[in-house]
Chains A and B, each alone.
Chain A
């Protein structure tokens, strides 16, 4: 990208490139297809509204993840979210079986789930996750270690993992 304002075509290209990643990050966080879809829409609108004028690919990806996680947090705190019940909409996913491990992840607390997800599914480094979550590298490292242990325990108890 250059230093100019994004053209419509460039913006569309970027949105199409990252839209599924945004959706996945949102989905693993909010556990609901339609909420994740709403958040994806919000993030994309925010992206266009910001009228970005520079970025490299890695920073852009991290920006999308940061904004997505912030919007997930907003949703968790909203009155509407607390007072409504989503339908069981996993059926809406095209490949629900691929969410098996995500289902196990949901048994972890937010911080472990988020770092494991970002590390293993989105291939972010510990430094990148630390930057996104505004935590120290050591903290993220220990969350990853503890998260792995907890996940392993869950998988063993579920009979899907043997030492």
Chain B
């Protein structure tokens, strides 16, 4: 019988000290949860993202092959006259039947808001911040000196986390004795072998960060930088939280790979929007229902909440664009705008952001 394989799990327990800590925190503090989480964060090997070695090889080959050749006139025509090309994860989403002008679709998470103190959301995580990893985000072109990515839309800004180059090892050989760092790229585990310690990796990260500049404005958020970074737990751990940033192509790469470097944040704007009020009402209902132990209603309310959150998202990104400006070594520059959009999957459980050519 299958059920014979299910042994009682009464012997699976938390350590007594951990239980004591949980009991103490639960009974004695209104925000010990943050401390515990931060403690556990340190127990993880956390590296924001990585570039796969295979990808690096492909990019390198592409660089070698293409750096000596100028872009042809036909290519420029095909690219709307621009000398650079922006690509994202279009290849991964070709079966999603999105518009032909969509160059990327990025899954978002809705529970990624900061713990804001002194705001309307005192005492709770405001999860109407939705964040989307702009995976496979690359700019290709010859003689690129710098690239500036910017948003002029209120509620739409960037979390930027520079990633140093990673040499990927055999993940299956990872164990406690092997040096190397475990990293994640879009949910895929990667073993970085070119850094023996976190210190080495952090040093490389600092060097990479020097290539970024003008990442100092944050006018699109309704919150201050300190509110977002100082009193927050979830989500806002980027090196730069900004409306706009510039990547300086000091290595003179033909392909500027910003894969998983950019996280686009969409937050609701504090208006008299009915959906915002409705959203707050649903949150309160969820809490009340949980308080009254109305078992089972949580899922329904949460779907309602997600639906409402999606309406807020759509309202914010409707007609929103991001601009990509490329400066060349010959002094010329080009700016191209890309449209944002959205759709939902799996009965509203997951929200996707799209990036389209205009």
Contact = CB atoms under 8 A, between A and B. Distances in A.
Interface of A: 8, 11-12, 15-16, 19-20, 23-24, 27, 34-35, 37-38, 40-42, 44-52, 54-55, 59-60, 62-63, 66-67, 70, 73-75, 77-87, 89, 93-95, 98-99, 101, 104, 120-121, 130-134, 148, 151-152, 155, 160-161
A99 B92 CA distance: 35
Contact of A121 (B6, B22, B49, B296): B6
Given A34-B40, A85-B189, A132 B5 contact: no
B109 interface: yes
A40 B74 CA distance: 60
Q: Which of A81, A83, A131, A152 has the most CB of B within 10 A?
A: A83
Contacts of B55: none
B358 interface: no
B47 interface: yes
B290 A50 contact: yes
Contacts of B33: 38, 41-42, 45
A59 to B, nearest CB: 5
Contact of B109 (A60, A77, A133): A77
A41 B25 contact: yes
Contacts of B283: none
Q: How large is the interface on B (under 10, 10 to 19, 20 to 34, 35 or more residues)?
A: 35 or more
Interface in B259-299: 263, 287, 290-291, 293, 295-299
Given A37-B40, A44-B26, A85 B46 contact: yes
B2 A151 contact: yes
A86 to B, nearest CB: 5
Contacts of A75: 111
Contacts of B49: 83
A98 B14 contact: no
Interface in B109-168: 109-112, 127, 131, 133
B8 to A, nearest CB: 8
B12 A93 contact: yes
Nearest to A84: B46
Interface stretch (B97-105, B179-187, B323-331): B179-187
Contacts of B234: 78-80
A8 B27 contact: yes
A114 B25 CA distance: 28
A113 B33 CA distance: 28
Interface string B293-313: 101111110100000000000
B6 A80 contact: no
Contact of B302 (A12, A70, A104, A152): A70
B293 A63 contact: yes
A101 B6 contact: yes
Contact of B40 (A12, A38, A133, A161): A38
Contacts of A101: 5-7
B11 interface: yes
A63 B290 contact: yes
Interface in B14-53: 14-15, 18-19, 22-23, 25-27, 30, 32-33, 36-37, 40-41, 43-49
16 contacts: A27-B12, A34-B44, A38-B36, A49-B30, A52-B291, A52-B293, A54-B293, A59-B295, A66-B295, A74-B127, A79-B109, A79-B235, A81-B109, A85-B183, A85-B189, A131-B295
Nearest to A59: B293
Contacts of A45: 25-26, 32-33
| Among all A-B residue pairs, the 8 with the closest Cβ atoms | A120-B6, A79-B112, A44-B26, A34-B40, A134-B299, A74-B111, A77-B109, A85-B184
Contact of B37 (A20, A38, A98): A38
A148 B6 CA distance: 11
Contacts of A83: 48-49, 133, 184
